Amino acid sequence: MTSTMDLFRVQGKVALVTGGAGIVGKPIARALSEAGATTIIAARNTEKCNDFAQSLRKEGVAAEADRVDLASEDDIRSLRE
């Protein structure tokens, strides 16, 4: 029988959270990181992304930061690559 927690396991996955340095994005990024995903925190504010990713890494979870403006097709392409 599959448990509810098995349905939400993200161990070994990569999660992208756009707006990840904001009020709504931070708890989402934290939860995904704590659940085992390597989390990419992306937002327009590079400094906030880097600071938050660094704080998550200090807690022992995998997190990276990347700057992205979702209004820019070039930024989206760069993030995807």
- Selection from 18, 29, 24, 23 nearest residue 54 by Cα: 29
Confidence of residue 5 (pLDDT cuts 50, 70, 90): low
* Cα–Cα distance measured from residue 3 to residue 64, given in angstroms and rounded to the nearest whole number: 30
Q: How far apart are the first and last CA of the chain?
A: 38
pLDDT in tens, 24-69: 999 999 999 988 999 999 999 999 999 999 999 999 999 999 999 9
Overall pTM surpassing 0.85 (yes/no): no
At residue 2, the pLDDT reads 67
Cα separations (Å) of 57 from 26, 31, 33, 79? 14, 13, 9, 20
At residue 17, the pLDDT reads 95
